[in-house]
Chains A and B, each alone.
Chain A
Amino acid sequence: MGSNTRTVAEKADFKRELTEVVPHLRAFARGLCGRADMADDLVQEALLKAWAAQERFEPGTSMRAWTFVILRNAYLTDMRRNRFRGEYDENVAERVLTAPAGQEEPLHLSDMHRALLTLPPERREALLLVGAGGFSYEEAANICGCAVGTIKSRVGRARAALNAMLADGSIPRRSTSDDAAHRAILEELDEVAAGNGIAARS
């Protein structure tokens, strides 16, 4: 569409970097919304948005962080339109996590994923970014548009919730799409989206 001030080489760099982060976008999206098909739709949406907004990308900065912001915003928008129900796709992963020696009950990826999906969205994304994506608290705070302390608090609460869930075996066995869980998720989401997560109580 409009004219583009980037050189051909810069556009090629952008595209290469964008291509490189696709697996990470898919992983982040999968963790956020649970279902592989919806997650991939979300990634497609984010890629198109990122491409359209490429002049706002500052070369040399983290493409992964930049695209995660775009993906996150797309997710929040779609969630508010009720597209995602936090459903867990049983087909995704019945793979057994590598059980550390001496561990009696192997933790299944599916258990992990279901437990993750029971977390309120802002805590889930904080934990995904820091615990899975390997972002620093500072980077995660930038991605979520909130204070570093807020991210730390969210990660802490998410960890505590998962610890409790896995300790007492209260991981939901099948699906988190039951009404109560879903309502809770959407209520939390409204708060996150309304303030873009800034100054959220947790």
Chain B
Amino acid sequence: MKSEQDKDAGRLQAAGAAPVEKSKARTERPEWASGLRQLYDSVVDEDIPDQFKDLLSQLDTKN
């Protein structure tokens, strides 16, 4: 919910200022927006399963 606000916080607010109210930014980048990226990144960050290493190493022998 406030991930965008966190970003805004650095950009727009002096330290100690009250949090930005639910703003336009929220409609642009609601809470799930960072969740969506985390979902994607969590898979990107996984170790590559051996099946892919095997497959890639076999590609060379196939023509």
Contacts and interface: CB of A to CB of B under 8 A. Distances in A.
Are A and B physically bound partners? yes
Interface of A: 1-2, 4, 15, 18-19, 22-24, 26-28, 30-31, 40, 43-44, 47-48, 51, 93, 95, 97-98, 100-103, 107, 109, 112-113, 115-116, 127-128, 131-134, 159, 162-163, 166
Contact of A23 (B6, B34, B46, B63): B46
A43 B51 CA distance: 11
A24 B37 CA distance: 12
B23 interface: no
Contacts, number: 105
Contacts of B33: 131
Given A27-B44, A101-B2, A44 B56 contact: no
A30 B44 CA distance: 10
Contacts of B36: 112, 116, 127-128, 131-132
A95 B42 CA distance: 10
Interface of A is mostly: helix
Contacts of B19: 102
Contact of A19 (B2, B32, B38, B56): B56
Interface residues of B, number: 34
B62 interface: yes
B60 interface: yes
Contacts of A166: 30-32
Interface string B29-63: 01111111111111111101101100110011011
Given A15-B56, A48-B55, A93-B39, A103 B2 contact: yes
Contact of B46 (A2, A19, A26, A116): A26
B30 A132 contact: no
B12 interface: no
A47 B38 CA distance: 24
A15 B60 contact: yes
A4 B3 CA distance: 50
B38 A97 contact: yes
Given A28-B40, A31-B40, 6 more contacts: A22-B56, A24-B44, A43-B52, A109-B39, A116-B36, A128-B36
Report which residue of A1, A26, A40, A115 has the largest number of chain B beta carbons within 10 angstroms of its beta carbon: A26
Contacts of B40: 27-28, 31, 128, 132-133
Contacts of B34: 97-98, 100
26 contacts: A1-B63, A19-B56, A22-B48, A24-B44, A26-B43, A27-B40, A30-B43, A31-B40, A31-B43, A40-B52, A43-B52, A44-B55, A47-B52, A95-B42, A100-B31, A100-B34, A103-B2, A103-B31, A109-B35, A109-B39, A112-B32, A128-B40, A132-B40, A134-B37, A166-B30, A166-B31
